[in-house]
Amino acid sequence: MKTSRIYWFIILSIIGLQAVQAQYAEDALRFSQFGSSVGARSQGMGNTIVGIADDYSALFGNPAGLSQQKSYDFSIGMSRLGYSNDVTLFDNKTSDNNNVINLNNLGIVFPIATVRGGLTFAFGFGRVANYTSIASFDGFNPSSSIIQSLTSNANTYNYTDDEYNNFLNNSITYQLFLANKFRDTLNLDEGIIPLVTGGVQQNGTVREGGGINNWSFGGGIDVAPNLSIGITLNLISGSYSYDRAYNETEPTHSLYYQSDPSSAGYFSEFESQSTIRSNISGFNSLLGLMFRQPKYSIGLTMRTPTTYDITETFSDSYNSHFVNVNALEPITSDGSTEYKITTPWIISGGISIRPTDWLLIAGDAEYTDWTQIEFDSNNQDLIQENRNIKSWLQDTWNLRGGAEASILSIGLMVRAGIEWKPSPWKDDPSDYDQLIYTAGIGFELDESSTLNVSYALGDWKTFRDNYYLGVGPASRTSELVTTNTVNLTFSHKF
């Protein structure tokens, strides 16, 4: 998962200033992916669920397995995510972390009395994705500046006076004395050029938050002695937040001189701040099938595409500072937008094998064609982004495996597992894939109550482009992400 592949674009036009926020392939991919499975037992076994599905978490993993439940079951769980990131910019490493605690699951399973077979329903809440992340960076860039990317290269030679004045009034860098006018009558060229072109210290922090919640109702029924089917209906709610603070300073305060009388002095600092707040709603369903034998079970699920309605507000602020010059008023802009995203089908298969009474082994495989992500819009920019998705993304197989050993004499269960999530981006190297190692224990508090605890350690590499000048990366960070997730789930049968 490329949670940090963010391209930050600013479009300057002669009719106004627009900060382009979200609505890129990265954003559509973020909302299309799910995180760890619901419940500590499943997470402890490498997030395997499709071929097991014998507790409350079946509602989110394979509802066909609910028919195995013959008693009422109440479940509640909490999770803590720790996100650490070692970011390198121009050979200088910066480390930072971000933590969050969430309700992971809450719900109830209620069986219906039948003459033969099983019919069981479940209702509840599950946290299926978490967007908490962070990236802090600090490095010296000798050859470029974000000010170059913010400076329009439009040729204004044939503009009318009103068009030319409007162009200047709506230029961030010109209004902040970070760009100068030029005119070349020989080549019929005119416009503005950036004052700062490199030799700057670049630092900033990008902090993300939010997540996706499922409010789910589902059921499973035996349609044959060893065969069950099920369905879960998911109402989806969630949020996403993005906060970015970025600064550039010229350490010597002697490299770039602005001669304009309004701000005569050497350039000292440029600063910008950007925020995005998104409210998310949607709907999907999960269809499940399970075939059971005494020593093994086989499961199959299909998750329908999710249609998300996303309402977004955004805000940007920019300012510049010069030596011995009074501070300027910052330039700010804000706005809001709405858009829709449709996610791909997700098809999963799983098997669980019980070679002995005390050992359970399970594995899942999950297929997703990420090129099927789509913005639902007539906006030409989003239509182009749909084309980009087809070109940039690929299909993947996520693989999960785990085991559970029961120490029956003391009611203790020990678990371990691993999950592999290949990068959805084409041509990514293998170290951009996510590897998640898990472990867990379960303890029977009494005949009816069980406490499960799990731990998951994930790591992968990614990168971030702070801005783009059109010829290769101009300010690219290399990032090493480590996640630590602890999940605690209590369940009680009655």
pLDDT digits (tens, 9 = 90+) for 268-279: 999 999 999 999
Please name the residues in contact with 19: beta carbons below 8 A apart, sequence gap of 6 or more: 10, 274, 314, 316, 333, 335
Burial pattern 155-192, b for ≥16 Cβ within 10 A else e, equals: ebeebeeeebebbbebbbbbbbbbbeeeeeeeeeebbb
Per-residue model confidence (pLDDT) at position 25 = 84
Per-residue model confidence (pLDDT) at position 382 = 81
Q: Average the pLDDT over 133-157 and give the result.
A: 95
Q: Would the pLDDT of 168 be above 60?
A: yes
372/343 Cα distance (integer angstroms): 7
State which amino acid sits at residue 198.
G
Q: Would the pLDDT of 479 be above 50?
A: yes
Per-residue model confidence (pLDDT) at position 164 = 93
Q: Would the pLDDT of 76 be above 60?
A: yes
SS3 for 324? coil
Contact 105, 489 (CB under 8 A): yes
Per-residue model confidence (pLDDT) at position 28 = 87
110-119 tens-digit pLDDT = 999 887 888 9
227-240 tens-digit pLDDT = 999 999 999 999 99
List, in sequence order, every residue forming a beta bridge with 112; answer none if it has no partner. Answer: 119
Query: Of 158, 254, 162, whose CA–CA distance to 200 is shortest?
Result: 254
Q: 160-164, 324-328, 488-492: which has the minimum mean pLDDT?
A: 324-328
Per-residue model confidence (pLDDT) at position 21 = 41
Q: Would the pLDDT of 6 be above 50?
A: no
DSSP assignment, residue 37? P
- Global pTM reads 0.90
Q: Would the pLDDT of 81 be above 60?
A: yes
**434-439: long-range contacts at Cβ-Cβ below 8 A with a sequence spacing of 24 or more?**
434/1, 434/458, 434/459, 434/460, 435/459, 435/460, 436/36, 436/46, 436/47, 436/483, 438/43, 438/44, 438/45, 438/46, 438/47, 438/402, 439/44, 439/415
374-428 tens-digit pLDDT = 998 777 888 888 999 999 999 999 999 999 999 877 889 999 999 999 999 998 9
Burial class (CB in 10 A: 0-12, 13-18, 19+), 128: buried
* pLDDT band for position 158 (cuts 50, 70, 90): very high
Q: What are phi and psi of 148, to 5 degrees?
A: -65, -40
* pLDDT band for position 23 (cuts 50, 70, 90): low
Q: What is the mean pLDDT of the chain?
A: 91
Comparing 303 with 10, which gets the higher pLDDT? Answer: 303
Q: Average the pLDDT over 44-68 and give the result.
A: 95
Q: What distance lies between CA 268 and its chain's CA centroid? A: 35
Q: Which two tokens stand for residue 193?
A: 């050029």
Q: 33-42, 155-164, 273-282, 364-373: which has the minimum mean pLDDT?
A: 33-42
Q: Would the pLDDT of 35 be above 70?
A: yes
Per-residue model confidence (pLDDT) at position 10 = 34
